[in-house]
């Protein structure tokens, strides 16, 4: 533990969908002064995301779904275009989680996924670490229409689009989801379509 933090006091504010904590602590700044700081931390566990790509067709698979937090701040952008993603349940491994999510959300049964990075998406407020993957897909892997699970109240539109179009959608602001932007840029930087 860093030596410039002490007297940590944690109070649970909510245990509804996830855990919202108020964390108060004393923090020593570079000038030597100690100040009492208060922050909120939202713990919803860790998550996974994956960019599915088809080299022969130069396409990728994305999802489109309603996101209430976006709707709350900007109703016009509430239908979010994203890579397939999902929360890690219990003691599951990130790899097994994303393989399961791919089948549930987009209807493909992939076996081999490549982890490209781990990242905190909003470390000022969320404890969530995202495990990001890429994987090839082909038509022979399709096992269902996807769309998510009714038991999880999901209604997911599956989008197969050219990679070049996705890059334009990112540049125009049609795609604003951070994990999706990271994976699209990863694909571009690493030339996964060559």
What is the arithmetic mean of pLDDT over 170-185?
A: 97
68: confidence class by pLDDT, cuts 50, 70, 90: confident
**152: annotated binding-site residue?**
no
Nearest to 49 by CA among 189, 176, 180: 180
Q: Does 31 share its domain with 19?
A: yes
Answer for the pair 65, 156: CB distance below 8 angstroms, yes or no.
yes
Q: Does 85 share its domain with 23?
A: no
Residue 194 belongs to a domain:
no
The answer to whether residue 80 scores a pLDDT higher than 90 is yes
Neighbours of 178 (CB within 10 A): 13
Kindly report the CATH number assigned to the domain that includes residue 108: 3.90.79.10
Range of the domain at 123: 47-189
Write down the pLDDT at residue 1: 67
Per-residue pLDDT of 116-125, as tens digits, reads 999 999 999 9
What is the arithmetic mean of pLDDT over 136-157?
A: 85
Write down the pLDDT at residue 103: 94
**155: annotated binding-site residue?**
no
- Which pTM was predicted? 0.91
Label residues 107-134 b or e (16+ Cβ within 10 Å = b). Answer: bbebeebeebeeeeeeeeebbbbbbbbb
**118: annotated binding-site residue?**
no
Q: Does 54 share its domain with 38?
A: no
Per-residue pLDDT of 93-102, as tens digits, reads 999 999 999 9
The answer to whether residue 45 scores a pLDDT higher than 70 is yes
**85: annotated binding-site residue?**
yes
């Amino acid at each position: 533990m860093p030596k410039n933090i002490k007297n940590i006091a944690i109070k649970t504010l909510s245990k509804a969908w996830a855990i919202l904590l108020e964390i108060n602590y004393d923090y020593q700044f570079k000038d030597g002064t100690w100040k009492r700081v208060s922050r909120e931390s939202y713990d919803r566990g860790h998550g996974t995301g994956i960019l599915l790509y088809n080299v022969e067709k130069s396409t990728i698979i994305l999802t489109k779904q309603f996101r209430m937090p976006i709707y709350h701040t900007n109703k016009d952008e509430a239908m979010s275009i994203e890579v397939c993603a999902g929360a890690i349940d219990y003691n599951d491994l990130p790899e097994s989680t994303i393989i399961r999510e791919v089948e549930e959300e987009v209807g493909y049964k992939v076996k081999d996924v490549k982890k490209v990075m781990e990242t905190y998406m909003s470390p000022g407020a969320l404890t969530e670490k995202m495990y990001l993957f890429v994987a090839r897909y082909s038509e022979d892997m399709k096992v269902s229409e996807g769309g998510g699970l009714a038991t999880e109240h999901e209604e997911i539109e599956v989008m197969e689009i050219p990679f070049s179009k996705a890059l334009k959608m990112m540049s125009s602001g049609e795609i604003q989801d951070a994990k999706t932007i990271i994976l699209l840029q990863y694909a571009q930087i690493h030339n996964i379509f060559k």
